Structures are given as structure tokens and as C-alpha cells.
Amino acid sequence: MMSLRRVIELGARHGEAFVLIAAAHVLIEGAGWDRARRFSDRLLPQHTPPIAPTCDPQRVAGAIERSVLRASRLIPGARCAPRALAARHMLARRGIVSRLVVGLRLKPHPEGHAWLELGSPAHPLRLFARDPSAYTPLDALSPTVASSPRSPIPTPTSA
């Protein structure tokens, strides 16, 4: 049986995920992906709080990913883009830096996808990435590498 503290912690995290996903979804639908991402970038904390020494960032990231996936089921049409924006804010609030990656797959039909990467670029932990090798990150398609790529083409639409 779960302790009361654990139940409250889960409820708060799921509630936080729900609110952030809903806000991101409304923003993306109303303002478009580029504006929503830029607005989201401005809201990220400039200085992330230090991670508690007892905190395992991978465990925290996994718990946030599960909360975001669960909460997104309650919001019709909330797919990868609002999930990634919401989780990025949740991670930042906990002192965990992540990179928003937007990729494009052309076959069998054009499709965008957004996911997060944490840790070293050589061996990142990926959140919401079904098969990142199937997608070409948009920063790889442009001559200048951006730390947070902008999507001039399709909004990330896949789950």
C-alpha cells in the first residue's frame, strides 16, 4: 500500500502535468508551434535550481514522463508537442535541464515529432521518443545548429 505522502506527491505531479499540457495545447492550437515554443522558452527558469544530492534525475524524468503521458490522455488532441513542452517545464522546475528536439519523417507520409533529451548528447535519455532514428532532427536540416530548433514545416503531430 502507498503512503499518504506518495499519494499526495503523485496527485500533485499529475495535476501539474495536466495544467501544463492543457496550457501548451491551447497555446499551440491558438498561436501555432513556433510562437508557442518561443513563449515556452521565455517561461523557462533562467537559472535552474540545484538538484537535490539524493535525487536521481533519470528516475525523476521517468516519473514525469509517466505523469505527462497519463494526464495527456484526458486532453483530446494533446500529443507529442504539448507533452514535450509540459515535461520540459516540469523538469526545469526540478533542476533538470533537457533539450527539446523536433524531428521530421517524410515516409510513409510527412510527420513531425517532438521529444526531450537529457544528459550527454552522446548517450541521451530520451523522453517521448518512439523511434528517434526514424526522424531527422530539424536542426540537422538547417545550416546553423540551434539549441532549440524551430519548426518552419509541420507542427509535431505524432503521439
| pLDDT above 60 for 78 | yes
Q: Give the residue, 10 or 113, on which the prediction is more confident.
A: 113
What is the predicted pLDDT for the residue at 139? Answer: 78
User: pTM value?
Assistant: 0.78
Question: 153 falls in which pLDDT band (50, 70, 90)?
Answer: very low
**Percent of the chain scoring above 70 in pLDDT:** 76
Cβ atoms of 9 and 64 within 8 Å: the answer is: no
What is the predicted pLDDT for the residue at 66? Answer: 95
What is the predicted pLDDT for the residue at 99? Answer: 92
Backbone angles phi, psi at 124, to 5 degrees: -80, 155
Mean pLDDT is lowest, of 70-84, 108-122, 136-150, for 136-150
C-alpha–C-alpha distance, residues 115 and 87, integer Å:
10
Mean pLDDT of the chain: 82
Question: 152 falls in which pLDDT band (50, 70, 90)?
Answer: very low
Please state the domain extents for the chain: 4-141
Write the CB contacts of 65 (distance below 8 Å, at least 6 apart in sequence).
Answer: 87, 127, 128
CA dihedral (142, 145, 151, 153) in degrees, to 10, reads 10
pLDDT average, residue stretch 137-146: 58
Q: Give the residue, 113 or 140, on which the prediction is more confident.
A: 113
- DSSP state at residue 156: B
